[in-house]
Structure 1
C-alpha cells in the first residue's frame, strides 16, 4: 500500500503542478473558459452565476495558483489533512463539471490544460475519475503520510509558492503568455493552418437488411442506408477553422493574409485600455509611409466603435471579427499582431508597444 500511496502522491502532485502552471502561463485564457462555464450555469441552474463573470480573471488566477500550491504540498506531504481535504473537494467539483459538460455537451473543451493539450469532454471526465480514485486513496490514508518538511518550513514553501504564482500570473496578464500554445503563435502560418495537413479520410457506416457495413469509400450501389461518417485522421484537420474578417462591404479575410499587415486588435472597446492608443497612434504614424498596411480588428458594433475611434483618434480602417477568435489570437485589449503573407512575425500587449524600427526589422524592410 505504501507504494500505491507514493505513486498516487507523485502522479496527482505532478499533474496538479503541470495543469496549474499551464493556466498560470495564460490566466486570461483560463478566465475566458470560466466565463463560458458561468454563462452555462447561469442559464441551466441559477442566474446568480452571472455575478461571477466580471471576476472570472481573479478567480482564474486564484484557482490556477492553488493547483500549483496543492501539487507542491502533496509532493512534500505538507499539512496532509488540509491538503487532502481541499484536493478532494476540488476534484469532486471538477468531476461534476466535466461530467455535466460531457453528458449535456455544454462546454466542448474543459480547459484543463489550457491550449497546450486539448481533451474532449469525455476524456476530461475520465481523467477526473482517475484523479478522484487516487485522491480518495490519499484522503483515506492521509494520516499515514509523513511530512518531509517541518510544519513551519512547509508553510513557508507553500506561502512562497503562492506569492510567486500570483506574480507570474499578473505578469502574464500585463504582457502576454510566456509560452503561446495557440495556432496564432509567432511563426505560425495562418493560411496553412486553415487547411488540412493531409487529405481527410473517412469511414462510412451504412446499413442494409438490418446489418451494419463499413466502407472507406461511399458505396455507389443501391440498397445501403447512410448511418454515420467517422473521420479516420482527425489530427489532420485544420488548426484554424473560424478566422474570418469582414465589414459592410464584404469579406476581407484573404486580404488580411496578403502582404505586410499590422493588425490592431481590440475586441471590446468598452474594456479597452484607451490610454495605450496614443502610443499605438504614434506607431501607426511612423509606419504610415512604409510597405506595411495598418488595420484594426474589433468585435464591437460599428456605431460604438465609430464613437470610440474618434475619441482616441485612431486613424486606420477597421474591420470586424468574432470576439472569441480575437481573444484567441491575442490576450490583450488592445494589442498588436504583425503578419507577413499570413505568417505571424510578432505579437505585442498594449504594455509592450514596439518601435517602428522593430516592426521594420521583423518584416525585413
Structure 2
C-alpha cells in the first residue's frame, strides 16, 4: 500500500464519520479534518504498537545520527543527551506510540479542544523538524557536518543516514521526501486547529470523553507491551514472516535486481552546475563529450519488479568467517534457528599464572664440520597475565537453560537440527556462552540489524524447513518440542 492509497481510504472513512455526526458539527471542514487526522494518527500509531521494538530500533538510528552530528559541531555539549536517550529507546518508543494514538482519539472526540490543538501542533513541529533533518541529510556529502551549510552539495539518497522515518513501521515504506512533505502539509490543519479550536466538534459528555481517553491509553499500553515483552508482534509486516521461503525470495530479489535497466544518465557539470539527461543508448555514443574531470554522473534506472528487502542481506558465517548461508538455506530437513541479536554480558579481568618458557638458539659445529642451529629450553618461569572473564546475566541465560537447550536436546533425539545465530561477536565470547548454557549446537554469526528483523525477541526461535519459515516464537511463548512436532513437523 502507498501513502496515497492509505490517505484515500482514510479520507473516505472521515467523510462517512463527518456525515454521521453532522448534527454535532458546527463547522464541517473542521469536523472532517478532526476525523481524517484522528483516524490517520490512530492507524499510524497502531501499526507501530504492533511492533514497538521496530520503532525503538529506528529511534536508536536517529539518536546515533544526532549524536555524531552534534558531537562534531559547536553544540557538542548536548551530544551525550542522545546517547542517554538511546538507552531508553524502547520506553520512548512506547510513549510516543501511545501519545500518537491517544492524540488521534482526542481529535475525533473533541477532547479538551485547546489542549488537543496545542499538543497536535507541537508534535507536528517535532515530526516536521525530524523528517526535514532526515531528508536534508541527503545534501550533506560524506565527511561534512550537517551544520556546515556552505559545504552542502547535490542530493544523493546514499548520503542519508536514516532512509526511512518509520512513520508507519513496516506497514508502509515512504521516502524521506514524501514523509517530510506529508508533515509540512499536515502543519496547515495543525495551525487551523490552533487558531480555531472553538470550532471543534465534541462527542458525548465531558466525563465520557475522559473515560474513553483513559481507557484507550491503558488498552494500547498493554497492547504495546504484549508485542515485545510477552510475545512477538501479533501481525508481522517484516519480510521474514511465517510462510516465506528465504532461499526462493532471495533469488527472486536478485533476479529482479539483475533485470533492472539503465534508462538514462543524468550528467552534472562540476563548474557551471548544468544538468543534462541523456538517454542510455545516446550516452554510449556521446560519453567522450562528457569527461569525468568535468562532469558527475547518476544513472536513472527502472525499478526492480520485486523490491529489495532484508532477505537479500541474509548472510550467515561461522566463527572463522566462512559463509554458511547456502548450507542453512539448502538444508532439506527441519531445523531450529535460535536468534540472538546480541549476547548480554559483563566483562571482568582476572590475573592468572601461566608458565612462560624462554628458548635459546645456538650454533654448533657438526662432526663433519658443518654448522647447525639448535634450540633448547633456557628457563621456565611463572608469569602473571590478564584474562577476560565473561559473565552473562541470569535473566538473559534463564530462557536458554530452561527452554531453548531442552528444546534442542529433544529435537536432536528426533533427528531435528538446532543452530544459533548471534550478532557479530568475539568467538571467545560465543564459546564461553555455549559453555554457560550447556549448548552442544553450533553457533554462527550475522549482522545485528538482520537478526533484529528476523524475530523481535532476544532470544527468539525460528523453525526452518528447506529454506522456509514454518514458525517463530518469543522465548516466553516457546512451546515444548512435542507440541511443535505435532503441529509443524511431518
TM over 0.5: yes
Which residue pairs with 2:81 in the alignment?
48
Which residue pairs with 1:5 in the alignment?
30
Which residue pairs with 1:288 in the alignment?
412
TM-aligned CA distance change 1:146 to 1:207, over 3 Å: closer
Which residue pairs with 1:229 in the alignment?
299
TM-aligned CA distance change 1:293 to 1:145, over 3 Å: same
CA contact (8 A) 2:266 2:300 kept: no
1:352 is displaced (CA, Å) by 1.0
CA contact (8 A) 2:268 2:276 kept: yes
1:286 is displaced (CA, Å) by 0.6
TM-aligned CA distance change 1:208 to 1:157, over 3 Å: closer
Structure 1: give runs of 5+ residues left out of the alignment.
Answer: none
1:234 is displaced (CA, Å) by 4.1
Which residue pairs with 1:79 in the alignment?
112
TM-score, scaled to structure 2: 0.70
Question: Which one of the candidate residues 234, 251, 261 is aligned to 1:201?
Answer: 261
Which residue pairs with 2:335 in the alignment?
261
- 1:320 and 1:127 map into 2 onto residues whose CA distance is 39
Residue by residue over 1:301-328, the C-alpha shift from the partner in whole angstroms, topping out at 9 and shown as x without a partner, is 3222222221111221000001111001
1:49 is displaced (CA, Å) by 1.2
CA contact (8 A) 2:262 2:302 kept: yes
Question: Which one of the candidate residues 317, 325, 332 is aligned to 1:246?
Answer: 317
Residue by residue over 1:110-167, the C-alpha shift from the partner in whole angstroms, topping out at 9 and shown as x without a partner, is 1000001011111110111121112111221112213212221111110000000111
- 1:363 and 1:214 map into 2 onto residues whose CA distance is 55
Question: Which one of the candidate residues 398, 405, 413 is aligned to 1:275?
Answer: 398
- 1:163 and 1:213 map into 2 onto residues whose CA distance is 55
CA contact (8 A) 1:78 1:149 kept: no
1:301 aligns with 2:373: no
Q: Which moved more, 1:190-199 or 1:175-184?
A: 190-199
Which residue pairs with 1:120 in the alignment?
175
- 2:101 and 2:162 map into 1 onto residues whose CA distance is 24
CA contact (8 A) 2:117 2:194 kept: yes
Q: Which moved more, 1:60-69 or 1:238-247?
A: 238-247
Q: Which moved more, 1:94-103 or 1:138-147?
A: 138-147
What does residue range 179-198 of structure 1 map to in structure 2 within 5 Å? 179-194=235-250, 195-196=252-253, 198=256
- 1:288 and 1:309 map into 2 onto residues whose CA distance is 17
Residue by residue over 1:12-43, the C-alpha shift from the partner in whole angstroms, topping out at 9 and shown as x without a partner, is 11110011101111011111111111111122
- 2:298 and 2:97 map into 1 onto residues whose CA distance is 40
Instruction: Name the SS of the counterpart of 2:265 in structure 1.
Output: strand
Which residue pairs with 2:5 in the alignment?
none
Which residue pairs with 2:58 in the alignment?
33
Which residue pairs with 1:160 in the alignment?
215
Larger proportion of strand: 2
Q: Which moved more, 1:40-49 or 1:216-225?
A: 216-225
Structure 2: give runs of 5+ residues left out of the alignment.
Answer: 1-25, 71-78, 138-159, 291-295, 346-394
TM-score, scaled to structure 1: 0.93
1:215 aligns with 2:279: yes
